[in-house]
Amino acid sequence: MTQDHHEEEPHGKTVRRWLYAGLGAVVLLAGGTAVVRTGAVPRALGLAQAPGATQEADARKTRVRETFEEDIARLGPDGVELASLSIPTDAKGYFAPPLESEMPDGEDGASIRRGRDIFLNPGANATDYVGNALACANCHLNAGRLANAAPMWAASGVYPKYRSKNDQINTMEDRITGCFTYSMNAQDGPTGGPPPQGDPIYKDVESYIHWLATGAPNRVDLPGAGYPALDEPAMAYDETRAKATFDENCSVCHGSDGQGRQDQNGRYAFPPLWGPHSYNGGAGMSRVSTAAGFIYANMPIGKPYSLTEQEAWDVAGYINAQDRPIDPRKVTDADAPVAPAGPPSASGTGTVVPAN
């Protein structure tokens, strides 16, 4: 840039920044898609990695993140160029969130840790607002870290955002309220509802979520966000076929009655899939297509992508055809806590669009 164009520099810089950001996003997306398409994810889900290799990979991620943090501290005309910043990724090319050992000290760290504890065990750490036996981490696996299991690092940078489901701008707090209301079935909890606006629970959970995204680009739809979207199933739902698939692949952990399994202390080792202690009829997981994507990429646990897409659709239909707490938006009679089981469909369980 010459002296003559000096006055245009801010504009030029902005454009350049956007170009770099756009390019970065394209590279990330292309990489992520390629990884998914080639089936590298199923083969590689880290299960077979030698402990030494894991340590080395962790050290590399930590190093990249440290460099990143040093760089942003030196960002500016005489320091580091924005475009030279690197993003920590894992072996499959997904964004790599920081390790527990990288949590900061002080007040920020304390809030992050409280948020993590709520995320892992809301029944104990956000008791007043939980009406079932689930935990956030039951559906957002590996404490909200796992790609294709609606990881929190991918959500952090995209809120506030407009959602057609409730036709308004949703803040991260709104989004978490949704998961308390439906996924955690707050209506059957001690206070009968989600944490009130501004509650410290939101601050702590948001601190944790935001920390998981350390080093992630902002306002970018990252590969591995949400659950994978499957193509429509080839075969129509068939209860006999679906039940057989469920009995063969799921009941060993979740029970043939779907009620999960508790250890001697009454804590759920395997969470319930339906019934009074599961998510309610307004939850995102009660939408068959969402559950199918989650199951395909994540269940049986330890054997991701082992079911065919059809099998994932079938068991998703099966679990969502069973009774569960009713969608709170449908409750007209307070004494009717359980929704009647409806026929499963690809688009949802009823006329009301699931809200989370």
Task: State which of residues 28, 36, 155, 222 lies at the interface with ligand HEC (CB under 6 A).
Answer: 155
Q: For residue 153, how many other CB atoms are within 10 A of its CB?
A: 25
* 109-128: contacts with ligand HEC (CB under 6 A): 119, 122
Task: State which of residues 94, 95, 227, 313 lies at the interface with ligand HEC (CB under 6 A).
Answer: 227
Task: Name the minimum Å distance from CB 148 to ligand HEC.
Answer: 10
Interaction mask 265-304, ligand HEC, x per CB under 6 A: -----xxxx----xx---xxx----xx---x---xxxx--
Q: For residue 194, how many other CB atoms are within 10 A of its CB?
A: 27
> Closer to ligand HEC at the Cβ: 9 or 238?
238
Of 2-10, 25-33, 78-86, 134-142, the window that binds ligand HEC (rule: CB under 6 A) is 134-142
Whether residue 318 contacts residue 251, with contact meaning beta carbons closer than 8 Å, is answered with no
List all residues 6 or more positions away from 318 whose beta carbon is below 8 Å from its beta carbon: 239, 242, 243, 245, 246, 344
Q: For residue 227, how many other CB atoms are within 10 A of its CB?
A: 22
Question: Is residue 136 a contact residue for ligand HEC (CB under 6 A)?
Answer: yes
List all residues 6 or more positions away from 173 whose beta carbon is below 8 Å from its beta carbon: 197, 202, 206
Question: Is residue 138 a contact residue for ligand HEC (CB under 6 A)?
Answer: yes
Question: Is residue 41 a contact residue for ligand HEC (CB under 6 A)?
Answer: no
- Cα 148 from Cα 139, distance rounded (Å): 11
Give, for 106, the enclosing helix (H) or strand (E). helix 106-120
Kindly provide the b/e burial profile for residues 35-50, where b requires at least 16 CB atoms within 10 angstroms of the residue's own CB: bbeeeebeeebeeeee
Task: State which of residues 28, 45, 134, 230 lies at the interface with ligand HEC (CB under 6 A).
Answer: 134
Query: Contact positions toward ligand HEC, by CB under 6 A?
Result: 119, 122, 134, 136-141, 150, 154-155, 175-176, 179-180, 183-184, 205, 225-227, 249-250, 252-254, 270-273, 278-279, 283-285, 290-291, 295, 299-302, 307, 315, 319, 356
